[in-house]
Amino acid sequence: MDGPSGTGKSSVSRKLATRLNASYLDTGAMYRVATLQVLRAGVDLDDAEAIAAAVADLPLTIGTDPSGEVVLLNGEDVSSEIRGGDVTKAVSAVSAVGPVREQLVALQRELAASAERIVVEGRDIGTVVLTNADAKIYLTASAEARAQRRNEQNIAEGRGDDYEAVLADVERRDNLDSTRKVSPLRPAEDSVTVDTSELGIDQVIDRLYEIVFEQA
Ligand code: C5P
What is the 3-state composition of the chain as percent helix, strand, coil, each rounded to the nearest 5? 55, 10, 35
Regions of the chain with pLDDT less than 70: none
At 8 the pLDDT is: 85
Does the model's pTM come out above 0.95? no
List residues bridging with 60 in a β-sheet: 73
At 58 the pLDDT is: 96
For residue 28, how far is its CA from the centre of ligand 1 (angstroms)?
4
To the question of whether residue 122 is assigned a binding role by annotation, the answer is: no
For residue 27, how far is its CA from the centre of ligand 1 (angstroms)?
7
Nearest CA owner, ligand 1 atom 6? 28
CA-derived radius of gyration, the chain: 16
CA atoms within 13 A on the CB side of 151: 16
Complex-level ipTM: 0.98
Q: For 154-195, how does the pLDDT look when each residue is reduced to its tens digit (9 = 90+)? A: 899 888 999 999 999 889 888 888 888 888 889 999 999 999
For residue 20, how far is its CA from the centre of ligand 1 (angstroms)?
24
